[in-house]
Amino acid sequence: MNDFSPDTLHLIGHKLCPYVQRVVIALEELNVPYKRTDIELENKPDWLEQLSPINKVPLLLINKDQYLFESDVICEYLNEISSISLHPKDPIQKAQHRAWIAFGSGILQLFANLIYNDKSEASYQKTLQDIKQKLSFLENQITGSAYFTSTCFHLIDASYGPIFRYVDYFKNHLNYDLLSNLKRTRNWAAHLRNRPSVIRAVPKGYNDQLYKFIAQNNSYLAQISLNKPAL
C-alpha cells in the first residue's frame, strides 16, 4: 500500500462495517481531512494483514511507517490531534463515556452474532433478548435531550450511530422494534439518524446493500430476511 499523502490520513474500510462508520463519523465531526478506500471482505488484499495483526478494518494509515487499528483507538487518536474535543471536559464523565462506548461494542458484537453465527431460532431469540436487555439498561443512563448526556455531540454518540442502523433494520425490515418502551433511547436514535456525519458514514443505497449482505449469510436472520421483500 504505497498511496500516501503527507497531509491526509488514509482510512481503509468496508462500505458496511459499523466500526468503520464510527471512525468516519469522528473524522467528519472533527473536520479532519482524510481519504477513504473500501476493500472487499471476501477478497482482502495481502497488505492488510501485514499492517493489521487482526486483519480487519478499520485501519488508519497515518504515514508510510505509522498506522492504527481498532476503531476506539483510532477515534481517540483523532480526538487527540484535533483542535476540538468530542469528549466531556470532566474527567469522571469522560471515563464514563469511554465505559459506555465499550458497552456499545458489546452490543455490536451481539448484532454480529445474529448476522453470522446464530443458526437456530433459539440462539437467534436469545441474542435478541440479550440486545434488548442491554438497550434497556442503556435507557437509564441517557440524560441528554438530544444526545447521550447533553445537546452536544460526543464520541459516544459517534459510537452508537452504527448500532441504531441495525436497530432500524429490524424495525423497518422485520417489523421488530428493539426500542419499544425505550423513550429516551428512541429519541437519541432519531437525532443520530439525522446527523449529517452519521448519514455520510455509509454509501448511498446502504439499506439495500445491508439486506443483501445479511441475506447471503448462513444464519437464521438471513433466512427470515429472505422471507421479507428487499428494503
Average pLDDT over residues 78-105: 97
pLDDT at 41: 87
Residue 81, classed as helix, strand or coil, is helix
Do 19 and 65 reside in the same domain of the chain? yes
CATH classification at residue 97: 1.20.1050.10
Mean pLDDT computed over every residue of the chain: 95
161-170 confidence digits (pLDDT tens): 999 999 999 9
Q: What is the mean pLDDT of residues 44-51?
A: 92
Cell digits of residue 77? 487518536
What gap in Å lies between CA 46 and CA 176, rounded to an integer? Answer: 40
| Residue 11: strand, helix, or coil | strand
Is 4 within a domain?
no
The answer to the question of residue 2 being in a domain is no
**One domain, residues 115 and 188:** yes
Query: Looking at the structure, do residues 95 and 199 belong to the same domain, yes or no?
Result: yes
Residue 62 sits in a domain of what CATH number? 3.40.30.10
The amino acid sitting at 76 is E
Q: What are the CA-CA distances from residue 61 to residues 36, 90, 97, 159, 193 (Å)?
A: 10, 31, 26, 20, 28
Question: How many structural domains are present in the chain?
Answer: 2
Does residue 113 sit in the same domain as residue 212? Answer: yes
Lowest mean pLDDT among 20-24, 38-42, 138-142: 38-42
**pLDDT per residue as tens digits for the range 135-188:** 999 999 999 999 999 899 999 999 999 999 999 999 999 999 999 999 999 999
66 plus 137 within the same structural domain: no
Q: What percent of the chain has pLDDT over 90?
A: 91
Residues 37 and 77 in one domain: yes
So what's the pLDDT on residue 45?
94
Q: What is the pLDDT of residue 5?
A: 57
Assess if residue 137 is contained within a domain: yes
Q: What pLDDT score does 1 carry?
A: 56
**pLDDT > 60? residue 13:** yes
Residues 39 and 59 in one domain: yes
Asked if omega into 6 is within 30° of 0 (cis), the reply is no
> Does one domain contain both 64 and 158?
no
Tell me the pairing of strands 34-38 and 9-13.
parallel
Instruction: Tell me whether residue 105 is in a domain.
Output: yes
Sheet with 67-69, strands from edge to edge, namely 34-38, 9-13, 59-61, 67-69
Quick one: pLDDT band at residue 81, thresholds 50, 70, 90? Answer: very high
Q: Do residue 153 and residue 113 come from a single domain?
A: yes
In a domain, 126, yes or no: yes
192 lies in the same domain as 146: yes
Domain residues for 54? 9-81
- Report pLDDT for 6: 54
The pLDDT, as a whole number, for residue 3 is 57
Boundary residue ending a domain (61, 81, 101): 81
